[in-house]
Structure 1
Amino acid sequence: MNKKNATIYDISNKLNVSVATVSRALNDHPRISVATKELVRKTAKEMNYKQNNLAKALKSGETKNVGIIVPYINTNFFSSVIRGIEEELSPLGYHVIICQSHEDVNIEKRQLNTLLNAQVDGIFMSVSKTTTDIAHIVNILDTSNTPIIFFDRKKDISGVSTVTIDDYRGGYMATEQLIKEGYKNICHFAGDLNLEIYQNRLNGYKQALIDHNLPIKEDNIILTGSSIDEGMEAIKKLWGKKSVPDAIFSSSDFAALGACQELKKRKIKIPEEVAIIGFSNEPFTQFMELPISSVDQTPVLMGKMAGQVFLESVKENGSGVSIEKKVVLTPQLYIRKSSKKK
């Protein structure tokens, strides 16, 4: 018995008790005495017994596993959302399976199928930037009872709950803060507009300019990715024009960092000549020699709220009622040296 896993039948034979008694003892059944439970558990450990989780899942209808699909895990934002989901669900016995799409919709499709084959109880998902066709997600909803909860990056699909922040408000707040500091020619690093979050940040930027009677200049809207190199390239592009901005609202902290580095190379003073505000409040923004102002997305709270939405959906499925939830969190603007002109 010490070289292979024992079964409940082996434990039953050794203790000369029924298989039902062993099973109930291992599952902490109230009708089994404490002494019997302790004896069964001790024997199970000695005999190298491992509980068959798959069989238990088939019987109960739940695996206590959930899947999480993110574009990348090596950013503070996505790792913090995952932390929030785990903190909400782990005390209830749930385990998470983490997948990365690497911004590839084909990988995203394979991961969804893998998670469904693993019979997860729910899927938390932030879609890739290449996810334009949503047929693979709709198909899951049509053929499976597995709840899907979008967080941050979402698609508007009937029956799918979402947890996001108000990206429009975040873009508006950042731009308005720059205006209040006295900046007038404000540029925006817009991010990938295939994603709704970046569209909303851009719209917030535009509305703040309109509300403060400042012109919207299309030349001041630069499509960038969310990387340091792309932030540096955006500055090179801007400084090749006749009219340069006096402030930048970047939809990405990493692009904002790249902008800071390139401006420093050019000996352009921040915030005296050019102010900068980023988005996401990555940890590095507050620990730099020149701390960068940024809009915080409250990722841990986002994860916790997504976990709560999942638990509510599980409860509703048991009652035969399904309610689609739209949770929108309020962003927070952290003002630091990079945008303080006054």
Structure 2
Amino acid sequence: MSVRSEKTIVDIAEELNLSVSTVSRALNDHPNISAKTKDRVKKMARKLGYRPNAMAAGLRNNKSKTIGLIVPRISMFYPATISTIIQNKLMEYGYNLIICQSNDSLEQEIALANTLYSARVDGLAVSATLYTTDFSHFDIFKQQNIPLVFFDRVPTKDYNVKVIKGDDFLGGFLATEHLIEQGCKDIVHISGPLTCNLYKERLAGYKEALQKYKQPFKKPRVFFHELTRENAWATAEKIFSQKPIPDGIFATNDTTAITLLEYCRKNGINVPEECKIVGYSNDPRTEIVTPAITSVDQYPATMGERIVAALMDLIQAKHPPAYRHSQEIVPIQLIARESSAGASKKKK
């Protein structure tokens, strides 16, 4: 089998009897090259199967025009929506996006950070794993003045980077307050691991609401685990196997809330009459189940837009980025639906 010969701009120049510099300028839409010549060059490039070598160009100008993105799982509604917004907005600036998922593995996150650094990305946006507490594998980006932004799941201690996150404390407070206002006096909280900032802050909001309304905090009514369907079902079995059953549940993601609703339906527990449920993220599925589930909207589109704006500010700055801790908060909103006996209301 013969090895395929990669065509270059030299081949295009020879075919058209043009200089290599003219071909290069035509391919890059240089204003000094006529439209007729540009058209001839681009047609020949297509005919020969020419592929521009973006990596070589990047080495010459020290810019890859590529941004790296690390998210926990692309299958989840929130990071999937953010990834789409980031890609679309970056294209407006002429940048491409490399999307990587860590699968909530710290080992994979470290490997991905190294891979993206080697790929010479011009900037990196990261939503960390549930278990990332040491962020030193990202130090190389700071040392080399490569713009670095953390979002959603972010360092819990100052790491001297740009941080963009939701108002998770307020989200936890509003979700719990809403259940209390609906008459709940025994509210279960289902949380993710407290190594992650999201769940620390949502738990703090839950506790604050209980304290405000003079309801006791009960440790046995709080559960911690990865918020998968399987774990949610196992927790539901624990919760409802003992009497009395809780009259309210605040689940810190919608997969858990939907699973709880399914468990209640299969076991003859009426929602919201016997137990009210609130989720988190406003996943589109929460609107189409019956009853529709109250949830906290995190505005992923706003998050994606702010991530791109922060990266572009850092990339376009005249001086290398000054690495210091700065935090930007994306607002949240409680969307009340039938699972908590609320009419369709929004509460900020």
How high is the TM-score relative to the length of structure 2?
Answer: 0.91
State how 1:58-207 maps to structure 2 within 5 Å.
58-142=59-143, 144-155=144-155, 156-207=157-208
Q: Is the 2:161–2:323 Cα contact (8 Å) retained in structure 1? A: no
Structure 1 stretch 212-221 or stretch 285-294: which is displaced more? 212-221
CA-CA distance at 1:57 after TM superposition: 1.0
Which residue number corresponds to residue 300 of structure 1?
Answer: 301
Q: Is the 1:138–1:157 Cα contact (8 Å) retained in structure 2? A: no
CA-CA distance at 1:16 after TM superposition: 3.1
Q: One-letter code of the match for 1:114? A: T
| Cα deviation digits, residues 83-105 of structure 1 (max 9, x gap) | 11012111222221111111111
Q: One-letter code of the match for 2:173? A: Y
| Cα deviation digits, residues 89-129 of structure 1 (max 9, x gap) | 11222221111111111111111111111111111111111
- Give the CA RMSD over aligned residues: 1.9
In the TM superposition, structure 1's runs of 4+ consecutive aligned residues that sit over 6 Å from their partners are: none
How many corresponding residue pairs? 338
| Cα deviation digits, residues 234-283 of structure 1 (max 9, x gap) | 22222344543210111111111222222223312111111000011112
Which residue number corresponds to residue 340 of structure 1?
Answer: 341
Instruction: Rate the CA distance shift 1:323–1:132 in 2: closer, same or farther, 3 A.
Output: closer
CA-CA distance at 1:309 after TM superposition: 0.8
Q: One-letter code of the match for 2:232? A: G
| Cα deviation digits, residues 209-255 of structure 1 (max 9, x gap) | 11112221222212232122222222222234454321011111111
Give 3-state SS (helix, strand or coil) of 2:184's partner.
coil
Which residue number corresponds to residue 55 of structure 2?
Answer: 54
Which residue number corresponds to residue 255 of structure 1?
Answer: 256
Q: One-letter code of the match for 2:150? A: F
Instruction: Rate the CA distance shift 1:221–1:19 in 2: closer, same or farther, 3 A.
Output: same
Instruction: Rate the CA distance shift 1:265–1:50 in 2: closer, same or farther, 3 A.
Output: closer
State how 1:316-327 maps to structure 2 within 5 Å.
316=317, 318-322=318-322, 325-327=326-328
CA-CA distance at 1:78 after TM superposition: 1.2
Which residue number corresponds to residue 15 of structure 2?
Answer: 14
Instruction: Rate the CA distance shift 1:139–1:50 in 2: closer, same or farther, 3 A.
Output: closer
Q: One-letter code of the match for 2:168? A: D
Instruction: Rate the CA distance shift 1:238–1:58 in 2: closer, same or farther, 3 A.
Output: same
Task: Give me the whole-angstrom Cα distance separating, in 1, the residues matched to 2:224 and 2:16.
Answer: 71
Task: Give me the whole-angstrom Cα distance separating, in 2, the residues matched to 1:264 and 1:25.
Answer: 65
Instruction: Rate the CA distance shift 1:340–1:51 in 2: closer, same or farther, 3 A.
Output: same
Q: One-letter code of the match for 1:294? A: S
Give 3-state SS (helix, strand or coil) of 2:150's partner.
strand
Percent of counterpart pairs with the same letter? 36
Give 3-state SS (helix, strand or coil) of 1:187's partner.
strand
Q: Is the 1:225–1:255 Cα contact (8 Å) retained in structure 2? A: no
Give 3-state SS (helix, strand or coil) of 1:280's partner.
coil
How high is the TM-score relative to the length of structure 1?
Answer: 0.92
Q: Is the 1:174–1:277 Cα contact (8 Å) retained in structure 2? A: yes
Instruction: Rate the CA distance shift 1:239–1:47 in 2: closer, same or farther, 3 A.
Output: closer
Q: Is the 1:227–1:258 Cα contact (8 Å) retained in structure 2? A: no
Q: Is the 2:191–2:227 Cα contact (8 Å) retained in structure 1? A: no
Task: Give me the whole-angstrom Cα distance separating, in 1, the residues matched to 2:7 and 2:191.
Answer: 59
Q: Is the 2:192–2:227 Cα contact (8 Å) retained in structure 1? A: yes
Task: Give me the whole-angstrom Cα distance separating, in 2, the residues matched to 1:266 and 1:321.
Answer: 56
State how 1:215-254 maps to structure 2 within 5 Å.
215-254=216-255
Structure 1 stretch 155-164 or stretch 110-119: which is displaced more? 155-164
Q: One-letter code of the match for 1:171? A: G
